[in-house]
Amino acid sequence: MDEDDLALVVRDAFPVSQGHTLIVPRRHVASFFSVTQEERASIVRLLDRAQVALRCDHALDGYNIGIDDGLAAGQTVPQLHIHLIPRYIGDHDDPRGGVRWVLPGKAKYWS
Protein backbone atom coordinates (compact mmCIF):
# COMPACT_ATOMS: atom_id res chain seq x y z
CA MET A 1 0.00 0.00 0.00
CA ASP A 2 2.53 2.61 1.15
CA GLU A 3 5.81 2.71 3.01
CA ASP A 4 9.00 4.56 3.75
CA ASP A 5 12.28 3.61 5.41
CA LEU A 6 10.76 3.68 8.92
CA ALA A 7 7.17 2.43 8.63
CA LEU A 8 4.64 0.80 6.35
CA VAL A 9 0.90 0.76 5.69
CA VAL A 10 -0.99 -2.55 5.42
CA ARG A 11 -4.60 -3.70 5.45
CA ASP A 12 -5.76 -5.27 8.70
CA ALA A 13 -6.04 -9.08 8.41
CA PHE A 14 -9.23 -8.99 10.52
CA PRO A 15 -10.92 -5.75 9.42
CA VAL A 16 -13.78 -4.27 11.42
CA SER A 17 -14.82 -2.12 8.45
CA GLN A 18 -14.11 -1.89 4.73
CA GLY A 19 -10.65 -0.36 4.30
CA HIS A 20 -9.42 -0.99 7.90
CA THR A 21 -5.73 -0.13 7.68
CA LEU A 22 -2.67 -0.39 9.95
CA ILE A 23 0.39 1.83 10.13
CA VAL A 24 3.33 -0.16 11.53
CA PRO A 25 6.91 0.90 12.29
CA ARG A 26 9.56 -1.32 10.69
CA ARG A 27 11.59 -1.50 13.90
CA HIS A 28 10.23 -3.90 16.50
CA VAL A 29 8.77 -1.69 19.21
CA ALA A 30 5.73 -2.45 21.36
CA SER A 31 4.76 1.03 22.56
CA PHE A 32 3.97 4.27 20.78
CA PHE A 33 5.87 6.01 23.56
CA SER A 34 9.06 4.11 22.64
CA VAL A 35 9.36 5.24 19.03
CA THR A 36 11.91 7.85 18.01
CA GLN A 37 10.86 11.30 16.84
CA GLU A 38 11.78 10.27 13.29
CA GLU A 39 9.63 7.14 13.52
CA ARG A 40 6.75 9.14 14.97
CA ALA A 41 6.98 11.64 12.11
CA SER A 42 7.01 8.79 9.60
CA ILE A 43 3.99 7.12 11.22
CA VAL A 44 1.97 10.35 11.20
CA ARG A 45 2.96 11.11 7.60
CA LEU A 46 1.89 7.62 6.49
CA LEU A 47 -1.32 7.89 8.53
CA ASP A 48 -2.18 11.06 6.63
CA ARG A 49 -1.35 9.51 3.27
CA ALA A 50 -3.39 6.41 4.12
CA GLN A 51 -6.48 8.47 4.92
CA VAL A 52 -6.15 10.32 1.62
CA ALA A 53 -5.92 6.99 -0.23
CA LEU A 54 -8.91 5.58 1.68
CA ARG A 55 -11.00 8.65 0.94
CA CYS A 56 -10.24 8.22 -2.78
CA ASP A 57 -11.12 4.50 -2.76
CA HIS A 58 -14.15 4.44 -0.43
CA ALA A 59 -17.25 6.57 0.11
CA LEU A 60 -16.53 6.88 3.81
CA ASP A 61 -17.93 9.34 6.33
CA GLY A 62 -15.32 9.41 9.12
CA TYR A 63 -12.53 7.54 10.90
CA ASN A 64 -11.56 6.03 14.21
CA ILE A 65 -7.83 6.11 14.87
CA GLY A 66 -6.58 3.86 17.64
CA ILE A 67 -3.61 2.35 19.42
CA ASP A 68 -3.81 -0.48 21.95
CA ASP A 69 -0.72 0.25 24.06
CA GLY A 70 -0.09 -2.34 26.78
CA LEU A 71 -1.94 -5.41 28.04
CA ALA A 72 -4.46 -3.37 30.06
CA ALA A 73 -5.36 -1.51 26.86
CA GLY A 74 -6.03 -4.76 25.01
CA GLN A 75 -2.75 -5.01 23.09
CA THR A 76 -2.46 -8.61 21.82
CA VAL A 77 0.34 -8.14 19.29
CA PRO A 78 3.61 -6.92 20.86
CA GLN A 79 4.33 -4.61 17.93
CA LEU A 80 3.07 -1.05 17.73
CA HIS A 81 0.44 -0.57 15.07
CA ILE A 82 -2.04 2.25 14.59
CA HIS A 83 -5.53 1.38 13.41
CA LEU A 84 -7.11 3.66 10.83
CA ILE A 85 -10.72 2.48 10.72
CA PRO A 86 -13.02 4.00 8.11
CA ARG A 87 -16.54 4.68 9.38
CA TYR A 88 -19.71 4.82 7.36
CA ILE A 89 -23.07 6.40 8.15
CA GLY A 90 -25.27 3.56 9.39
CA ASP A 91 -22.45 1.14 10.32
CA HIS A 92 -23.52 1.49 13.99
CA ASP A 93 -26.87 2.55 15.42
CA ASP A 94 -25.36 5.24 17.66
CA PRO A 95 -21.66 5.94 17.08
CA ARG A 96 -21.49 8.78 19.63
CA GLY A 97 -18.58 8.37 22.00
CA GLY A 98 -16.40 6.57 19.43
CA VAL A 99 -13.30 5.14 21.09
CA ARG A 100 -14.76 5.79 24.56
CA TRP A 101 -16.69 2.52 24.11
CA VAL A 102 -13.56 0.50 24.89
CA LEU A 103 -14.89 0.89 28.48
CA PRO A 104 -18.63 0.49 27.85
CA GLY A 105 -19.76 1.57 31.32
CA LYS A 106 -17.81 4.82 30.98
CA ALA A 107 -18.57 5.73 27.38
CA LYS A 108 -21.83 7.62 27.64
CA TYR A 109 -21.12 11.15 28.82
CA TRP A 110 -24.21 12.77 27.30
CA SER A 111 -27.75 12.66 28.62
Q: Which domains does the chain have, with CATH numbers?
A: 2-107 (3.30.428.10)
Which residues, in sequence order, are CB contacts of 25 under 8 Å at separation 6+? 6, 7, 35, 39, 42, 43, 79, 80
Average pLDDT estimate for 12-39: 97
For the whole model, what pTM was predicted? Answer: 0.90
User: For residue range 54-102, what is the model confidence (pLDDT) as tens digits?
Assistant: 999 889 999 999 999 999 999 999 999 999 999 999 998 888 888 877 7
pLDDT of the residue at 96:
85
Q: Is the pLDDT of residue 109 over 80?
A: no
22 vs 34: CA distance, rounded Å: 18
- Given the residues 28, 58, 81, 92, select the one marked as catalytic: 81
Neighbouring CB atoms inside 10 A of 50's CB total: 21
Strand partners, 8: 3, 24
Please report how many Cα atoms fall inside a 13 Å half-sphere around the Cα of residue 66, on the Cβ side.
18
Q: Is residue 81 annotated as part of the catalytic site, yes or no?
A: yes
